[in-house]
Structure 1
Amino acid sequence: MVSPAMSEANINSHGEADSKVLQYERFIDEVLKKDLQKVMEQRDAVYEQISHYLQLKNTLEALQETDSHDLKADVDLGCNFYVQAKVEDSSRIFVLVGFGFFVEMDHAEALSFIDKKTGQLTAFTDQLTKDCAKIRANIRLVLEGLRELQGLVDLPECSRREVF
């Protein structure tokens, strides 16, 4: 026969385990997954910056190949309203160097700057990718801890699927 004290201790430990499971699940949802989302969004924004710089690089290289300083372009005024613009001397351009500052450069200076800037941004995206991997590893670790807390049997590798 089971004593009332033993069954009450079993209920309390089971209740504490459920409470811990809920805390860990909340931690995964409210902290780790949100952190992962922020880092991924930041990485995507940096990739977009790299894309803009590479597009500028391609444009500058095309301008150098044509050896013409006259340039015609469609300029977006906003809300998808475009006007045709004619640039009589495109030998010098303004390049966004960061923090909202533009610097006037010739084509060679701009190409050199773009190479350096894309190198820096690529290194930053590599770090952000490592941060994503660390957060994913932490999520996996907490999920494994939850599995142990709940006494679940580990699924075979082939039937697992990613949950994040």
Structure 2
Amino acid sequence: MSENIPLKVVEYEKFLNETLRSDLRKILEARDKIYSQTAEYLQLKNVIERMKETDLSQDELKTKVDLGCNFYCQANVPDVSKIFVCVGFGFYVEFTLEEALRFIEKKTARLTEEANNLTKDASKVKANINIILEGLKEMQHLDMTTKMEQRDIWN
């Protein structure tokens, strides 16, 4: 029985390093992507609110447009009463400013809920990592009173 312990330790370490930590990294990357999408929608919301405050509906708007890869050109917008908003999957919908604000509210609420779910998933994976680490300590008869030096995986 005791000769199987080193094999089990190797299996658990492999599972820990190849599966759990990889899953945690993927979850955190997905959550960061959602946070960046949320930030873009909130930035658009601020721009729309500023446009409404300054009442640009009678005037045309001069702005810079990103053509891609941070290459900007100057653009004139003759009608600022409507705006195109990315609704997902590469589709853009023309909204009035009020409709765009309502859409952004719903979209950011859904993105926030999704980010919260990913945070819960990350917590579960981190808990599983801690359980595996404790099991490895026990299997290797390490001193349970001394705390192992661990780096914070959230940074």
TM-score, length basis structure 2: 0.91
Deviation, 1:35, is 0.3
Whose helix fraction is larger, Structure 1's or Structure 2's? 1
- Bigger radius of gyration: 1
2:38 equivalent to 1:64: no
Mapping of residues 132-151 of structure 1, within 5 Å: 132-151=122-141
**1:96 matches 2:86:** yes
Q: What is the alpha-carbon root mean square deviation over aligned residues?
A: 1.5
Distance in 2 (CA, whole Å) between partners of 1:83 and 1:60 is: 20
Per the alignment, residue 42 of structure 1 pairs with: 30
User: Are 1:79 and 2:69 counterparts?
Assistant: yes
Matched residue count:
151
Percent identity, aligned pairs only, is 50
Output one character per residue of 1:37-63: Cα deviation in whole Å (capped at 9) or x when no partner: 000000000001100100100000010
CA distance in 2, matches of 1:153, 1:163: 21
Tell me the distance in 2 between the aligned counterparts of 1:123 and 1:67. Answer: 33
- 1:109 maps to 2:99: yes
What TM-score do the two structures reach when normalised by structure 1?
Answer: 0.86
Cα distance between partner residues in 1 of 2:70 and 2:151? 40
Per-residue CA deviations over 1:58-82 (Å, capped at 9, x if unaligned) read 0000100110132211112233322
> 5+ residue gaps in structure 2?
none
CA 1:29–1:151: 2 relative to 1, 3 Å: same
The one-character-per-residue Cα deviations of 1:67-108 (angstroms, maximum 9, x if unpaired) are 013221111223332211111111101111122221110000
